[in-house]
């Protein structure tokens, strides 16, 4: 594990849940005149570093935006490469997750993946389900609008079946049907690469999250950048709409 505790000023103010939009893999590869998959492969190293940094800092939940529902629009060779990388990473990292007592969850419409990838996801989730350390959430084939729509669909089905009165539906009930409803909402959202938008990521859950945008490309993201984001977070005053 890393020594992030030495760099962070206030150890009593660590976000319980950090979400990260891992952006910049393609630009990193382009700068080095490499194929796009080389950037994604290098990005996997940044994932490993960040998981260790977050666990060491005492973060309870780390959510990483790996593949959006819009990413299917990318060139087939890139999508195929991403699917292969996801499969290899799941197989390779299972032992490491167990070593550090990390529980893996995959958030998104996994039915869009191949049967073999779906089976591998289930195997790793099952193997790590009883781990008591940090929860690592991988958002794959995920979109914030899809998330809200699937929650609304679940409630609509209950109304259609006569088990729910529409007047009973409120924000709390809708939230209970969103992804990760059993976990705390993100306190901090980090996006790398310098872009300053959330790209349809956890639209509902990040309503009161603090946003930190860093110029570093994701494959270069390391301990110092993680610490910088925490330090920025610790300067913020969270009012949740109050004064």
- Could you give the residue numbers annotated as active site? 23, 71
Alpha helices by DSSP H, the chain: 25-31, 36-57, 76-99, 115-128, 144-160, 171-175, 223-233
Are the C-beta atoms of residues 41 and 84 closer than 8 Å to each other?
Answer: no
Q: How large is the angle between the packed helices 36-57 and 223-233, nearest 10 degrees?
A: 60
User: 84 is written with which tokens?
Assistant: 């292969």
Helices then strands, counting H and E runs in the chain, come out as 7, 6
């Amino acid at each position: 594990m890393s020594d992030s505790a030495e760099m962070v000023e206030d150890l009593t103010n660590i976000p319980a849940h950090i979400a990260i939009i891992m952006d910049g893999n393609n630009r990193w590869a382009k700068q080095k005149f490499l194929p796009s998959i080389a950037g994604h492969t290098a990005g996997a190293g940044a994932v490993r570093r960040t998981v260790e940094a977050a666990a060491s800092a005492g973060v309870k939940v780390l959510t990483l935006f790996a593949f959006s529902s819009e990413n299917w629009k990318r060139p087939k060779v890139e999508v195929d490469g991403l699917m292969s990388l996801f499969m290899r990473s799941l197989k390779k990292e299972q032992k490491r997750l167990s070593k550090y007592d990390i529980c893996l969850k995959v958030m998104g419409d996994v039915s869009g993946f191949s049967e073999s990838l779906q089976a591998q996801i289930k195997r790793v989730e099952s193997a790590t389900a009883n781990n008591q350390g940090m929860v690592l959430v991988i958002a794959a084939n995920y979109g914030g609008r899809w998330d809200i729509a699937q929650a609304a669909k679940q409630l609509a089905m209950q109304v259609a079946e006569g088990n729910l009165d529409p007047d009973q539906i409120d924000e709390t009930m809708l939230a209970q049907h969103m992804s990760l409803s059993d976990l705390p909402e993100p306190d901090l959202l980090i996006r790398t690469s310098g872009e300053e938008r959330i790209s349809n990521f956890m639209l509902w859950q990040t309503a009161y999250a603090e946003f930190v945008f860093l110029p570093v490309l994701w494959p270069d993201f390391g301990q110092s950048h993680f610490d910088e984001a925490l330090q920025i977070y610790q300067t913020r005053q969270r009012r949740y709409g109050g004064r």
